[in-house]
Structure 1
Amino acid sequence: MFESLADRLQQALGEVRSRGRLSEEDVERALRQVRLALLEADVDFRVVKEFTARVRERAIGTQVLASVNPAHQVVKVVADELTELLGGTTSEFVLPKARPAVVVLAGLQGSGKTTAAAKLARYLRAERGLDVALAACDLQRPAAVEQLVLLGGRADCTVYERGTDATPVEVAGWALGRAREEQRDVLIVDTAGRLHVDDQLMAELQAITERVRPHRVLLVLDAMTGQDAVNVATAFAERAPFDGLVLTKLDGDARGGAALSVKAVTGRPIVFASTGERLEEFELFHPDRVAQRILGMGDVVTLVERAQRELDERKAAELERKMRRAELTLEDFLEQLRQIRKMGPLKSLLGMLPGMGSQLAALDLDERELDRVEAIILSMTPEERRRPEIIDASRRRRIARGSGTSPQQVAQLVKQFQAMRRLMRDLSRGRLGALGSLLGR
């Protein structure tokens, strides 16, 4: 998330962190680097000017420079102001008690609006236990209806569609009637987009909102478009008011300009963030957590929340018991690997650990290697997974053919697993007690 911006800001503040005492000149030098990093990230120049002015005013104060650790104080000031720039506090997505609650999604073509509609539907169903239906009102883009039907099925949500035979306004009204009859909790309306903001787009959007009277209107923005996304949000705010924003494609090469500018320019909060291709990679936008990740402070809270959501507590307890007794098998290892991968890409998870952000570029993280590990284990017999020591040359060749790997890769996995199991056995027998005591001190 915002890798290039994060690298530049961490580099700019790295000099500050390395100094025991700070002068105004040190702070000014760091602020110049911060200003350049924000401008290169396509943040609105007026926003950059106001941001650096606020940081300067707080960072050069006597209370900061004369403190016991001024470097930490300056970094905290930058983190606080960055959090404020991103929206300050989390904008909770509160729906009224009226049923069905109607949510309209708007945006330009190519912003990921249809996918965002399905992700929002899955989020409301899985996280809040709501009965959600989707209305396919994007009749402008070819195959948009079919795409929503497919994604809605994967999200386990009902999709109301009438093909392209009716107008979007008619489909929206009909879908609302169906949602009322079937007593749905939420109806999400996926509207059409255009390549740019035009009168036809706005007229259609206004007609749909007049027909369904939505309780919430969300504007979907592509984070990869930078300053253009802010221009789109400004145009929509002037002609078709919305309550909040959904930022998509934050897992791509997003420079950060949209996220850092849009709240200050439009006054509307970022409500949701789409952080990957999977339907599950969609979450509330937390300004403080994003600011901490940009500055390399990690995001342990989100990591814990994902673990609580994705990991099976009973299986985790059983795994811990086996590890204590040195009874771990390759079947257990495969199960744990799958549980971790459900939480998201490995690089993203490591980026949530404090201090890891700046080191990720140097790490050679290849998700395909995890695919190879899984394929190798799945190509083994149940007995081989439980007792990898029986895997001889003949078995290695068979496993390699079944997994599309080489016998050497199979041997390496088995060797590494056996070394890990020996280490757990040694720990369980107390052979590393002296080392444990040393680490304990």
Structure 2
Amino acid sequence: MFENLSDRLERSFKILKGEGKITEINVAETLKDVRKALLDADVNYKVAKQFTDTVKAKALGMDVLTAVKPSQLMVKIVHDELALLMGGDSVDVNITGSPAVILMSGLQGSGKTTFSGKLAQLLKGKRGKKPLLVACDVYRPAAIEQLKVLGEQIGIPVYSEPDCKNPVQIAQNAIKQARQDGQDLVIVDTAGRLAVDEEMMREIKAIKDAINPNEILFVVDSMTGQDAVNTAKEFNDRLDFTGVVLTKLDGDTRGGAALSIRTVVNKPIKFVGTGEKMDALDVFHPARMADRILGMGDIVSLVERAQEQYDEEEAKRLQKKIAKNQFDFNDFISQIQQIKKMGNLKDLASMIPGVGKAIKDIDIDDNAFKSVEAIIYSMTPKERSNPELLNGSRRQRIAKGSGTSIQEVNRLIKQFDQTRKMMKMVAGGKMGKMMPRMKR
């Protein structure tokens, strides 16, 4: 995400490299390039100009320490201003009430229905809520069925009235049903249109007035850039929504919507969709996003995702096996499955500082582990538990069974052996004993 903008900003900062101090001339030259980068990223012109004016005033007003290079100072100022531009602090979703009610709004194709399912799953898993999804899109063919399929997939009930064409009545009845069934969260998926029209606005305003939701979230496809910002303004003028959801952020190489929308509508971005899977949804953190735009990674989010998949009992069991040098291919495949649950592999790698830039032109898809899994699953249970049994003839059989070459099988086994040795070394504390010798 934001690859184009990140590249352009990096080039802008190079103007200051080698400069001994910040001057009005070199700052003006750098920020002229920054402004062009923002405009090319489809950032609103007024937002881009105001941003660079603020950065210029702060840069010229600072006394630069001798230890800090002008280019480093400029990166720091731009980072802080980017975070402020996107809202400063993350803003939590309001789910107080019995039940709490969240109303979705947005154009057709923005991803409202999928996001409704993602949000229900997120709040069920992380907040212990008992959600009810409500199908109020009575126009789009198969809209109700789509929500039902999502609900079944994530184990969350869906309220619908297929024969009713009154979305206000459906929403009201759903809230009554939620109270009866003890569900403390109602997420109302509404109809979208291909463009903003009066009928659509009247309808969703009527739903809002009838159910008085805790939250009205405007869902928008971030890849539509400046159009997303203009649509957000029209919706906000009529609905006064409480927050923005940016979908398809994983495919957005420019970043115009994320950088403009907060300033134009003065409403926080609360969530971002980062992929097609149901768990590909993140709470929006402006400072972390600024880190990623400037190529600094996002190690905090990476750690949080890892912790979500962390099983303490499994970790203790694994630690004992590693200490006894009993780590096997069953454990190896288990670790791969946990990594895959954390999300898109390229997105995960880009969260590591410095890695995002290195892999920007490398295609890493979710099938990256496919051949590894095929090789391991072609082993017998006994071979997976006892890797030392893997002699030449067994390796030949595994290669044929997995549709890979003997070279690929040998490479995996070699990497596995090296991994196992390193794990045992770390678990046995040998790394710590080696460090003093290495310092001498």
Aligned to 1:418: 417
Shift of 1:311: 1.8
For 1:145-168, what per-residue CA distance to the aligned partner results, in whole angstroms no more than 9, with x for missing partners? 111111112222110012254322
For 1:282-336, what per-residue CA distance to the aligned partner results, in whole angstroms no more than 9, with x for missing partners? 1211101101111112212111111111121222233334334433211111111
Shift of 1:218: 0.6
Cα pair 1:107 1:113 within 8 Å, conserved: yes
In the superposition, relative to structure 1, how do residues 401 and 140 fare at CA in structure 2: closer, same or farther (>3 Å)? farther
Partners of 1:396 and 1:212 lie apart in 2 by 64
Partners of 1:24 and 1:359 lie apart in 2 by 33
In the superposition, relative to structure 1, how do residues 207 and 13 fare at CA in structure 2: closer, same or farther (>3 Å)? same
TM-score normalized with structure 2 length = 0.93
Partners of 2:426 and 2:100 lie apart in 1 by 56
Shift of 1:391: 2.5
Aligned to 2:72: 72
Cα pair 2:164 2:170 within 8 Å, conserved: no
Partners of 1:250 and 1:208 lie apart in 2 by 28
Partners of 1:440 and 1:366 lie apart in 2 by 40
Aligned to 1:244: 243
The reply to whether residue 53 of structure 1 matches residue 53 of structure 2 is: yes
Q: Structure 2: which 5+ residue stretches go unaligned? A: none
**Helix, strand or coil at the partner of 2:249:** coil
Partners of 1:206 and 1:366 lie apart in 2 by 41
The reply to whether residue 34 of structure 1 matches residue 42 of structure 2 is: no
**Helix, strand or coil at the partner of 1:368:** coil
Aligned to 2:264: 265
Aligned to 2:224: 225
Partners of 1:169 and 1:429 lie apart in 2 by 64
Shift of 1:7: 2.0
**Helix, strand or coil at the partner of 1:279:** coil
Cα pair 2:323 2:428 within 8 Å, conserved: no
For 1:369-406, what per-residue CA distance to the aligned partner results, in whole angstroms no more than 9, with x for missing partners? 31221121122112111223322444334323433333
% identity of equivalent residues: 47
Aligned to 2:171: 172
1:328 alignment partner AA? F
**Helix, strand or coil at the partner of 1:162:** coil
Shift of 1:134: 0.8
Partners of 2:249 and 2:42 lie apart in 1 by 15
Aligned to 1:196: 195
Aligned to 1:137: 136
Cα pair 1:326 1:428 within 8 Å, conserved: no
1:62-141 aligned at under 5 Å gives the runs: 62-64=62-64, 68-96=68-96, 98-141=97-140
In the superposition, relative to structure 1, how do residues 420 and 102 fare at CA in structure 2: closer, same or farther (>3 Å)? closer
For 1:110-159, what per-residue CA distance to the aligned partner results, in whole angstroms no more than 9, with x for missing partners? 00010010111111111100111011001221111111111112222110
**Helix, strand or coil at the partner of 1:361:** coil
In the superposition, relative to structure 1, how do residues 163 and 83 fare at CA in structure 2: closer, same or farther (>3 Å)? same
Partners of 1:185 and 1:152 lie apart in 2 by 16
Cα pair 1:23 1:65 within 8 Å, conserved: no
The reply to whether residue 345 of structure 1 matches residue 344 of structure 2 is: yes
- How many residue pairs align between the two structures? 440
Cα pair 2:15 2:29 within 8 Å, conserved: no
The reply to whether residue 8 of structure 1 matches residue 8 of structure 2 is: yes
The reply to whether residue 369 of structure 1 matches residue 350 of structure 2 is: no
For 1:219-261, what per-residue CA distance to the aligned partner results, in whole angstroms no more than 9, with x for missing partners? 0010011001001101111222211111100111342110100
TM-score normalized with structure 1 length = 0.93
Partners of 1:165 and 1:427 lie apart in 2 by 63
Shift of 1:432: 7.7
Q: Structure 1: which 5+ residue stretches go unaligned? A: none
Shift of 1:22: 3.8
Shift of 1:13: 2.4
In the superposition, relative to structure 1, how do residues 434 and 16 fare at CA in structure 2: closer, same or farther (>3 Å)? farther
For 1:263-287, what per-residue CA distance to the aligned partner results, in whole angstroms no more than 9, with x for missing partners? 1011111011111111111121110
Aligned to 1:355: 354
1:275-314 aligned at under 5 Å gives the runs: 275-314=274-313
Aligned to 1:186: 185
Partners of 1:15 and 1:319 lie apart in 2 by 50
Shift of 1:364: 5.8
In the superposition, relative to structure 1, how do residues 15 and 395 fare at CA in structure 2: closer, same or farther (>3 Å)? farther
Aligned to 1:316: 315
**Helix, strand or coil at the partner of 2:63:** helix
For 1:201-232, what per-residue CA distance to the aligned partner results, in whole angstroms no more than 9, with x for missing partners? 11111121122221211100100110010011
Deviates more, 1:389-398 or 1:71-80: 389-398
Shift of 1:68: 4.3
Cα pair 2:5 2:253 within 8 Å, conserved: no
